[in-house]
Structure 1
Amino acid sequence: MEIRILSVDIERFDASTRMPFKYGIATMTHLPHVFLRADVNFDGVNQKGISADHLPPKWFTKDPEKDPLEEIEDMLVVIENAGKLAQRITSDSVFNFWRELYQLQDDWATNSFTPHLLAHFGTSLIERALIDAFCRHQGRTFAHLLHENSFGIHWDSIRPELKGKEPKDLFPVPLESITIRHTVGMADPLTEEEISEDERIHDGLPQSLENCIQFYGVNHFKIKVNGQLEPDIERLGAIENLFNRLNLVDFAFTLDGNEQFHEVSTFREFWNSLQESERMRTFFEHLVFVEQPFHRDLALTEPIGVALKSWTQAPPIIIDESDATLDSAFNALQLGYRGTSHKNCKGVFKGIINRAMINQRNLDAGTSRFLMSGEDLANIGPVANHMDLVVQACLGNASVERNGHHYFKGLSLFNASTQESALNSFPDMYVSENNCVRLNIRNGVLPVHELLSFPFGTDNSHF
């Protein structure tokens, strides 16, 4: 097969949150959301493909001195550059096309001093649109094409230990529903009584953590900390109190360290201090893992690895922002981390191979020690969230952080026609309330089986 990308077009929407989302060093109140459309030629037959994502400042690069508007411009630059490079490539498979684009973008990033995590955000948007176009061209779903290896994945080109493996050996049957792991942002109100009348949002959706638990039935959580012991202990204690008051006993949570620590010893002291009381030790029995406590500049260095391996009572720790290159997850496991995260903005094929590596390690060891989490960048539909959920389901990531439905009012960013199309195509996944189409999360679970029946989780209304 001969594959070429003929043109790339970017459409931008400006989005505002319904409530501030404080993550790490940033507080999100508005940001751009972009759709990328690519015209792809497969053996002389043209097919359109689409992808989408937010452009969130202070995630791909966490530079406190840099203007967020400049960071948004940087994201547009890497997307546009990837689009230009993609139009130079002729390849014989979707995977090989992505590999060549990845290398070209990687070389450009090195020469232009662009961080690799940021650079390959651009790569991932082209990759997703290419995958979408291929699924449409083949008239098959992403799950089928993955399990048949119709994308032409050469596993051992990135991870030699996977040579000779087939997708059916490495991946389970795709999940038909996802447990929603609710993000507790640093500025989110925990209880209803914390919300003053002038701050209360009257849009029919929950605002406090208390009301989110009651409204969506969520019992999996991602709790963000800022690395300051006293405020973090106070907030975690307040969350524990809330769970007790709501009689929430069957719950699980992850802790997001937000790159706040530069040494293992400092985080170790912090970790031990969090659990000084019996009450909090009981609370932490529900912890699944800690995400990226160490700053990305240091997280994959040898001193961190030595300290992690010597900490025999360490909680499971995974990387997220440090997962910047094709070797990052492998290097993290070698250093003593337990795994990595997946989100489509870091790359679909990269996530597939990382998950295959983790699954193979667990199979070889007869254990479930190594893990992959599903994380989020405040994804919203009708494209970005859909595609991410399709990949999460195919990777077997059962508990996935989602927060776009919480910080944005459903699909209200888009016109009535777009919302109606999503509701008609995915009637189990969406519900219409208060003049808005939103995710239909019940008992903490979102059905995704409808997404798996479409080429790459989207219908034909976007062209």
Structure 2
Amino acid sequence: MAEAPLLKVKDASIFERRFTMRMPFRFGAATVTEAAQIFLSLDVEDAQGRIATGYSAELMVPKWFDKNPALSNADNEQQLRRSVHLAVALSKEAPASTAFGLHAGLEPQHHAQAASEGLNGLIASFGLALVDRASLDALCRLHALPLVDVIRSNLPAIDLSTTPDLDGFDVAGFLKQVIPHKTLYLRHTVGYIDPLTPQEINGPRRDDGLPECLREEIETYGIQYFKLKVSGRPQEDTERLKDIAAVLDRLPGYKATLDGNEQFADEAAVIDLMDRIEKEPALARLRQSLLFVEQPIIRTMALSQPVKTLAKRVALEIDESDGTKDAFLEAREQGYLGVSSKSCKGFYRSFLNKMRVEKWNAETGGGYFMSAEDLTTQAGIAVQQDLALASLLNLGHIERNGHHYVDGMQGASASEDAAWLSAHGDLYRDHQGRARLTMQNGQLSLDTILAAKGLGAAQAAAQATFQTLQEKENAA
């Protein structure tokens, strides 16, 4: 391993950008029509006095991190905003350390401080994840290297200090063998109220040049992977899945996952749904194409209730339950085989959990897995950092829905759009000056993401975003 540099966080800037969704997004019990994205820049100095700025961004999605119905969407946003500010303040107080050392030192402090303010582990993870990514981005820029080279040489100094259960695992060997995927299949999210065919579109069409129903998504992008939201009501879910299958079964082949978003009370309720699916002839192909079921059971019960009977029939994964560094360990004890990777939960958490998958599969003969899921990541820094992570982890396909529910880089300046289109022309197309995500045959190109000297985003493009944010704040 090359000598890992010590880094000191010197300064930080935080901005936000609000936007409205082009169509409502229904998941679990929530329907989201607007949200805000938070942006972080960190100035980081190494031992030689060199300074680089790193960037990160993430959507502050309401009703996912904390689903307490007594809290408003504004309350949820404030929880996430507070987590970021807490993490940034702690990072500025922290002594010089390696990039991973900064993470390892901050994690217990940040989670404890967040908990003292009533913020759960998932919310705490959100703030720390933004600091981790910005500091890692700065590390890449200090050395003028793309992310893959930084990870292969372990410049962040990733170790097992936070995961003693991995004792003996060859971290250096694992990282040296990282070979990123140059493309990823997009797994399209089908929200619970999304129209499936043109005939189901309510009201006048938007006619904004983007697909407005599932069939149009498939025809436009050539999508072959799908994530289907279910409601926790087995009879209604079965009927909804029959309608979806009528569209998907027109394809020569496809793969699907189900996402319960914590809407099922217990294992028995999910078994009820699986029974109905397997008894329904119209769902035979969908059942054959089903890869796994994501977080069906509410997080307060998921890590304490066995699901081993259900797990014999279909692979199960945690998502919302993954609020701490050891959640996957607890989930494994209950019968879960999978864990989601999301940048909003932590870059290093994903890598360490992938090491667990490798270790457990080597010990048991297989079955454990990781998948790449979405937080409605927005075009630009957020989506590209998440794609870079999934590429390095070789996850093959990734849930994406930000391009569907939001029209490109909403709120960006003309110069900002132009900078992203220029730097990452394989990932975006120009629609009347606005950068929109694009793909070919259902696949996203990652060539410019992997080539960027940073965590997935070209410096000129990231700087253009922060210049726009600063100008708008100055004008306010």
Contact conserved, 2:104 with 2:162, CA < 8 A, in 1? Answer: no
Aligned to 1:354: 353
Aligned to 2:189: 183
Instruction: Report how far residue 162 of structure 1 moved.
Output: 4.4
Q: Matches of 2:178 and 2:147 in 1, distance apart?
A: 14
Q: Does 1:84 align with 2:123?
A: no
* Match runs of 1:128-277 below 5 Å: 128-155=133-160, 157-169=162-174, 172-196=178-202, 198-244=203-249, 247-277=250-280
Distance 1:237 1:147, change over 3 A: same
- What amino acid sits opposite 2:334 in the alignment? L
Instruction: Report how far residue 106 of structure 1 moved.
Output: 1.4
Distance 1:335 1:50, change over 3 A: same
Q: Deviation per CA, 1:381-403, whole angstroms, max 9, x where unpaired?
A: 21000101001100111110000
Q: Deviation per CA, 1:363-387, whole angstroms, max 9, x where unpaired?
A: 33343x1110100011112100010
* Match runs of 1:14-413 below 5 Å: 14-43=18-47, 44-155=49-160, 157-169=162-174, 172-196=178-202, 198-244=203-249, 247-301=250-304, 304-305=305-306, 308-311=307-310, 313-367=312-366, 369-413=367-411
Pick which of 321-330 and 5-14 moved more: 5-14
Q: Matches of 1:314 and 1:335 in 2, distance apart?
A: 15
- What amino acid sits opposite 1:6 in the alignment? K
Q: Matches of 2:110 and 2:380 in 1, distance apart?
A: 27
Contact conserved, 1:180 with 1:445, CA < 8 A, in 2? Answer: yes
Instruction: Report how far residue 167 of structure 1 moved.
Output: 4.2
Instruction: Report how far residue 65 of structure 1 moved.
Output: 1.8
Contact conserved, 2:184 with 2:444, CA < 8 A, in 1? Answer: yes
Contact conserved, 2:8 with 2:97, CA < 8 A, in 1? Answer: no
Distance 1:221 1:311, change over 3 A: closer
Aligned to 2:429: 431
Contact conserved, 1:292 with 1:320, CA < 8 A, in 2? Answer: yes
Q: Matches of 1:311 and 1:189 in 2, distance apart?
A: 30
Contact conserved, 2:328 with 2:339, CA < 8 A, in 1? Answer: yes
Contact conserved, 2:184 with 2:445, CA < 8 A, in 1? Answer: yes
> Residue 441 of structure 1 is aligned with which of 428, 439, 442?
439
Pick which of 425-434 and 392-401 moved more: 425-434
Contact conserved, 1:14 with 1:30, CA < 8 A, in 2? Answer: yes
Instruction: Report how far residue 112 of structure 1 moved.
Output: 2.3
Identity %: 31
Aligned to 1:451: 449
Look up the SS of the partner of 2:291 in the other structure. Answer: strand
- What amino acid sits opposite 1:346 in the alignment? K
Q: Matches of 1:243 and 1:107 in 2, distance apart?
A: 46
Q: Matches of 2:161 and 2:420 in 1, distance apart?
A: 38
- What amino acid sits opposite 2:364 in the alignment? A
Q: Matches of 1:313 and 1:291 in 2, distance apart?
A: 15
Contact conserved, 2:340 with 2:370, CA < 8 A, in 1? Answer: yes
Q: Matches of 2:288 and 2:164 in 1, distance apart?
A: 34
* Unpaired segments ≥5 residues, structure 2: 464-476
Relative to the length of structure 1, the TM-score reads: 0.95
- What amino acid sits opposite 2:408 in the alignment? G
Contact conserved, 1:229 with 1:274, CA < 8 A, in 2? Answer: no
Q: Matches of 2:266 and 2:165 in 1, distance apart?
A: 32
Contact conserved, 2:182 with 2:446, CA < 8 A, in 1? Answer: yes
Contact conserved, 1:227 with 1:260, CA < 8 A, in 2? Answer: yes
Q: Matches of 1:312 and 1:340 in 2, distance apart?
A: 14
* Unpaired segments ≥5 residues, structure 1: none
Q: Matches of 2:230 and 2:105 in 1, distance apart?
A: 39
Relative to the length of structure 2, the TM-score reads: 0.92
- What amino acid sits opposite 1:207 in the alignment? E
Look up the SS of the partner of 2:328 in the other structure. Answer: helix
Distance 1:216 1:352, change over 3 A: same
Spell out structure 1 runs of 4+ moving beyond 4 A: none
Instruction: Report how far residue 163 of structure 1 moved.
Output: 2.5
Aligned to 2:471: none
Contact conserved, 1:387 with 1:456, CA < 8 A, in 2? Answer: yes
Q: Matches of 1:28 and 1:167 in 2, distance apart?
A: 42
Pick which of 163-172 and 375-384 moved more: 163-172
Instruction: Report how far residue 22 of structure 1 moved.
Output: 0.9
Contact conserved, 2:232 with 2:269, CA < 8 A, in 1? Answer: no
Contact conserved, 1:412 with 1:419, CA < 8 A, in 2? Answer: no
Look up the SS of the partner of 1:87 in the other structure. Answer: helix
Distance 1:284 1:164, change over 3 A: closer
Look up the SS of the partner of 2:459 in the other structure. Answer: coil
RMSD: 1.5
